[in-house]
Structure 1
């Protein structure tokens, strides 16, 4: 399996990513969020007053890790991404809300009106600009860069 194929498998098999942000002063913050992938884009729903959302409003750079934390020692595989993230704007909200909802359980669907004022939640999108994969080779931390041109 190629590193690119490994990345696709990891992204498809997991439901949560760890989103790392920083505030204006560079103070780090990490949050787990349920995500829906779409190529090089990753969507999640959050409150705009949560720490990571406030951080992204000030500083759109983010780091993302997607991994299975339940595997035995030295068998982990992960996808590492650097990205730019933002709240999805009104022009894209309907399409992106439908896309995000496609990965949710059938009875859970977010309509655009649930993701804008006065509702408490918003839809966010991170666009990956760089990626690498942690490969399971029986030892610690072998990260291999992968091309985003082929799409995630």
Structure 2
């Protein structure tokens, strides 16, 4: 399977991503968040409470890292992605309606209140670890996407 196809399958076919942030002292924090992928712009969207630890960290440092993988995969045959980007709060009405609706339906089991906000990860880079190379102790990460339009 072509790497770009694997990337889009992973981005479109999963529900959670692990979002890594750091506070002003550099202390790391990782949070699972429900997300949606916008194929047209190459961004990820999620909903969170502004007083959550990861959002407080983002308010001080919007640079994040993330990983997406299907945890139901068998060991040795797993694919996942690792990436980095920047986060900003967005008005829900600025999101494509289909993405907004899909994201809201995914989090419908979570008690949302008026304080929850929508956020966008503007992806800078995405890497796909090469599973076959890892099996042979020859690490290789393939840069699948570098999004220069999101860099300031």
TM-score interval, smaller chain: 0.7 to 0.9
Per the normalisation by structure 2, the TM-score is: 0.80
Is 1:96 aligned to 2:98, yes or no?
Answer: no
Which range moves more in the overlay, 92-101 or 13-22?
92-101
The residue correspondences of 1:30-69 to structure 2 (distance < 5 A) are: 30-39=30-39, 40-69=42-71
TM-superposed deviation, 1:100: 2.5
Unaligned stretches of 5+ residues in structure 2: 148-152
Distance in 2 separating the partners of 1:31 and 1:66: 12
Unaligned stretches of 5+ residues in structure 1: 109-113
Which 4+ residue blocks in structure 1 deviate beyond 6 angstroms? none
**Alignment partner, residue 9 of structure 2:** 9
The residue correspondences of 1:1-152 to structure 2 (distance < 5 A) are: 1-39=1-39, 40-88=42-90, 92-96=91-95, 98=97, 99-105=99-105, 108=108, 119-137=114-132, 139=135, 142-148=140-146
Distance in 2 separating the partners of 1:53 and 1:129: 19
Per the normalisation by structure 1, the TM-score is: 0.80
TM-superposed deviation, 1:132: 0.7
Deviation track 1:42-98 (CA, whole Å, cap 9, x = no partner) reads 11111000000000000000001000122222211111111000111xxx4313273
Higher relative contact order (CA 8 A, sep 6+): 1
Distance in 2 separating the partners of 1:75 and 1:83: 27
Q: How many aligned residue pairs are there?
A: 138
SS at match of 1:4: helix
Distance in 2 separating the partners of 1:106 and 1:62: 22
